[in-house]
Amino acid sequence: MEHLINSNVREIEISGIRKFFNLVSQYDDVISLTIGQPDFHTPSHVKEAAHNAIDNNKTNYTPNAGLPELRRAAAHFVQHKYGLSYEADSEVIVSIGASQGIDIAFRTILEPGVEVILPGPIYPGYEPLIKLCGATPVYIDTRDTYFKITAKQIEQHLTDKTRCIILPYPSNPTGVAIQEEELIKIATLLKDKDIFILSDEIYSELVFTGKHHSIANYPGMKEKTIVINGVSKSHSMTGWRIGLVFGPEYVMKQMLKVHQYNVSCASSISQYAALEALTEGINDAEVMSIQYKERMEYVHNRLVKMGLDVVKPDGAFYLFPSIQKYGISSFDFAQQLVENAGIAVVPGSAFSPLGEGFVRVSYAYNMETLVEAMDRFENYLTTIS
């Protein structure tokens, strides 16, 4: 009966990151630089808010879109931090992590036959969801533009089928962000076109160079942009599964139906924790961001000294060095690194075919681990070059 399974589902592949984890788990004494989540604990005051929610029996369904006070806090958060303006009652949905927010956004705006533009290399979470909607992903190669999509590249790839463009900045796996000047050009290009933008800003609080800018802020853009955010990375709350979706009312009222029949609502306990994070903990990410920047500078310097080409990130907690000069695939390179040097990094091919020739190094680890890992990396590279 397998042939009766939805063909869109059958065609989706297991993530390349997962395949590599399975391989790495067979080896001992491996320092893993593969993780895609913060190494800090969730702030104590946030955990306490969750305890209180349980003790006070705040354990029922919440409104589908999320607790009104959390939606107000979320709207205030993006207003205060990035100047975005959303109505808490009608333009915010609390999702189950950014992941489910992306899913309900796609299912609201995509359908068979339409195209979605994505800059590659890119986080692997979008393509399968696009394909489940029957839509077609169209990759733009950003390897020659420092992994940043440009207005010119977008213009060259627009067709009458383009329904959505994904702007995933600061980026996983490259850490880069788009500078304001280019964002303005992109906004100018798109403002009069009937095309949605999905702006995944989950790393917005972890920006090292200047401020985070959202495309939704530029003239005419709010009406066509869906902003994805959440507390997973900003407050080290990946396991609490709270994401935030912001968009114009005409989109959100449709998206709420998808969300309602999909999950009813996010966990009430996690929502109370997120409320604390976005109010009393509104600046919690600052301390973490300072540490990520220090680690980024350290690892970036070490990789450069090893002779690797690597774009300096603007945020998040990843570096994406090129390993092209070694003339082997990123999977083989990463596998040999595990076997011969005892370090695990993620092969770039996990981030779309455009990630081939690179590896993702996460620095969401303490300095001691990073120093040891870089020493091992350097020793290994001297043996092969």
Ligand X SMILES: Cc1ncc(COP(=O)(O)O)c(C=O)c1O
Interacting residues toward ligand X by CB under 6 A: 36, 97-99, 123, 125, 168, 172, 200, 202, 230, 232, 238, 243
Q: Please give the Cα distance from 310 to 319 (Å, whole number).
A: 7
Could you tell me the smallest distance in angstroms from the CB atom of residue 229 to ligand X? Answer: 9
Cα 189 from Cα 219, distance rounded (Å):
11
Output the smallest distance, CB 7 to ligand X, in A: 26
Nearer to ligand X, 81 or 241 (CB): 241
DSSP state of 215: G
Q: Shortest gap between Cβ of 97 and ligand X (angstroms)?
A: 3
CB count in 10 Å sphere of residue 13: 10
User: Given the complex with ligand X, which of 92 and 374 has the nearer CB atom?
Assistant: 92
Residues 129, 102: contact at Cβ < 8 Å?
Answer: yes
The encoded tokens of residue 85 equal 């303006």
Give whichever of 39 and 89 is closer to ligand X, judged by the CB atom: 39
Nearer to ligand X, 164 or 341 (CB): 164
The smaller minimum CB distance to ligand X, of residues 195 and 231, is found at 231
Q: How far is the CB of 202 from ligand X (least distance, A)?
A: 4
Look up tokens 């290399």; give the residue. Answer: 121
3-class secondary-structure state, position 164: strand
In angstroms, what is the minimal distance from the CB of 37 to ligand X?
7
User: For ligand X, which is the closer residue by CB, 97 or 342?
Assistant: 97
CB of 94 to ligand X, least distance (A): 12
Alpha-helical (H) ranges within 244-284 are 249-263, 268-278
- Taking the C-alpha atoms of residue 172 and residue 189, their distance in angstroms, rounded to an integer, is 25
SS3 content of the chain, % helix, strand, coil (to 5): 45, 15, 40
Nearest to 354 by CA among 332, 382, 330: 330
The residue at minimum Cβ distance from ligand X is 97
